[in-house]
Chains A and B, each alone.
Chain A
Amino acid sequence: MKKYLGVALTLAALVAALAAPWLTAHDPLRADFAAGLKPPGTPGHPLGTDQLGRDLLTRVLHGARLALFIGGCTVLVTALVGGLLGLVAGFVERWPSAVIMRIADVQLSFPFILLALTINVIVGLGLRNIILSLSAAGWVVYARVVRGEVLSVKQRDFVHAAAALGVGRTRLLFRHVLPNVAPSIIVVASLQFSQFIVAEAAISFLGFGVQPPTPAWGSMLSESRDFMYVAWWLGAFPGAALALTALGVNLLGDWLRDTLDPKLRV
């Protein structure tokens, strides 16, 4: 049940993201003032239109593009950086471990969203900086989980055996330890993915992320506030798309954890 719902919702978001331009005939940016604020069900506009007469369905579909792109990039960056640091911290122990784990403690002492927001405002707005600020705030989870896993994997007999056979440390780490911690990295990645999507939307909602008129769910929700009394659909649909995507990815992550690594607590 979890599995099917998770896969279905995630796939739906993926299809929306990849095929957005072919799924609707409208341009997400072109305004048509005569058709402004039409309610859902209007012919040609199944989800209605916004204050500038832009088709809401088109904007929601294009929003999936941006959300999944930012979420995907951030997951890649954090998995690489955090995973690598976690590998090193768990494998080398001694001072690299202490240094990396203290940095992780410091990182965790700032609430995720606050840290990402502040970095974003200081380095300047823009797509690349959103990904970087989310990554800067998000790598810690991987580092911690991977370090813990490495600490236990490297005590296993096959690692000792490989070391006794004269396998070098680098090869030991990447050929023998890494494949055994990979499942945890995948589980963390899937659970983090939805967090990044929601965080990006929150940042855009607060006005520090993707800027209008680019169709991002967060900034669409932010704009919808001015029309709350006349057009409920402007807030309802982008938010529902965001929540369903997050739900789908979460369920997928839960299911992956149950199958790959039931003991993992993230």
Chain B
Amino acid sequence: MRGYVLARLAQSLLVVLLSLTAVFGMMHLGGDPVLLFLPQDIQAKDVEEFRQRLGFNDPLLVQYGRFMAGALRGDFGQSLRYREDALGLVLGRLPATLLLAGTAIVLTLVVAVPVGVLTAVRRDTAVDHVGSIAAVLGQATPGFWLGLMLIYVFAVQLRWLPTGGMGTVRHLVMPAVVLAAFYAARVARLTRSATLDVLNEEFIKTARAKGLAESRVIAKHTLRNSAIPIVTLAGLEAGQLLGGAVVTETIFAWPGLGRLTVQALVNRDFPVVLAAVSFTSIVYTTMNLFVDLAYGWLDPRVRVRAS
């Protein structure tokens, strides 16, 4: 187990370093990186001065070393718009995103996993068809359209919920539902197929042949075994919530990381963009690491194969 943990840890560290390198590479995609870091009120004649001051005249390797050294210390420079530490701004928005994503995950687990199990157990019945259709629809419906339609029905027409912003529980309802919808649809389908796999196993037949009650067969013998793929894939998918938050937060004016990133892109505030992208990537890599470690812990075969 220890070898497995160390190997995965080293691999994740490598991915983080390479991701930061990729972010550095992204700065140069447009050709002239200095254009990304100019204050908004600059005049053409001052561009050269800024290029010199920001160090974009140095050899690429020196620039790279400086960027990586800064990034590893959490220093992505100052926001061009707010004149504050870029990473500080990003971290300041984190609690809002965590609240939203956390609520979405809870919603998903409470709704999607039971639906997945139920549709698998009642395979090819009306319950299965309705549940599966709902899951397919949920997966195909773009979150931002669902968001707009929810706003139209529940905020504009019925006036039950606020159109956006953050504050009370009522503000949280629509963004969390929208963020959870796609994710929940995926998890429900996964749960269904994982449960079906286990239901075909010999030990389920044995459990039934022993005369165990069906509820017990499902709860103890099936769920425990289907939990591994569900937990893993749900964990991996949870990372995608960070991407989903970009769109959802923008629609509902939710003051989180995603909205900050979009606003920074609109304002061409690249220190904040780079800080947000790097931070997201590191969080995602860390989450994957934890999921993998949990997987190795749950299923001994994984760590044997890995080492």
Contacts and interface: CB of A to CB of B under 8 A. Distances in A.
Contacts of B19: 106, 109-110
A106 B262 CA distance: 22
B281 A201 contact: no
A256 to B, nearest CB: 15
Contacts of B284: 108-111
Given A106-B18, A229-B156, A242 B139 contact: no
A131 interface: no
Contacts of A243: 140-142, 145
Contact of A198 (B18, B142, B149): B142
Contacts of A250: 136, 139-140
A235 B14 CA distance: 44
B277 A114 contact: yes
Interface string B269-307: 000010001001110110010000000000000000000
Nearest to B262: A206
Interface in B149-164: 149, 151-152, 156
Contacts of A224: 148
Given A124-B30, A194-B140, A247-B137, A111 B280 contact: yes
A242 B145 contact: yes
B144 interface: yes
Contacts of B94: none
A122 B144 contact: no
Interface in A111-165: 111-115, 117-119, 121-124
A208 interface: yes
A114 B148 contact: no
A224 B49 CA distance: 43
A143 to B, nearest CB: 16
Given A102-B15, A109-B284, A243-B142, A117 B265 contact: yes
A229 B152 CA distance: 8
Contact of B148 (A117, A123, A225, A254): A225
Interface stretch (B53-61, B165-173, B220-228, B235-243): B235-243
B142 A114 contact: no
B51 interface: no
Interface in A3-20: none
A124 B35 CA distance: 12
A117 B242 CA distance: 14
B246 interface: yes
A69 interface: no
A122 B22 contact: no
Contacts of A194: 140
Nearest to B35: A122
B140 A118 contact: no
B30 A239 contact: no
B276 to A, nearest CB: 8
A161 B236 CA distance: 39
B304 to A, nearest CB: 19
Interface residues of A, number: 46
A198 B15 CA distance: 28
B148 A228 contact: yes
Contacts of A121: 265, 268, 273
Contacts of A122: 26-27, 29-30, 36
B15 A109 contact: yes
Contacts of B285: 109
A236 interface: yes
A105 interface: yes
A111 B247 CA distance: 12
A118 B26 contact: yes
A202 B282 CA distance: 24
A49 to B, nearest CB: 18
Given A119-B29, A122-B30, A221-B148, A242 B246 contact: no
B226 to A, nearest CB: 14
Contacts of B27: 122
Contacts of B244: 111, 113
Which 5 A-B pairs have CB atoms at the shortest separation, nearest pair first? A111-B243, A239-B145, A247-B140, A246-B140, A109-B281
27 contacts: A105-B15, A105-B18, A109-B19, A109-B282, A110-B277, A110-B281, A110-B284, A111-B239, A111-B242, A111-B243, A111-B246, A112-B243, A114-B246, A117-B246, A118-B265, A122-B29, A198-B142, A205-B144, A206-B246, A221-B148, A224-B148, A228-B156, A242-B142, A244-B140, A246-B141, A246-B142, A247-B141
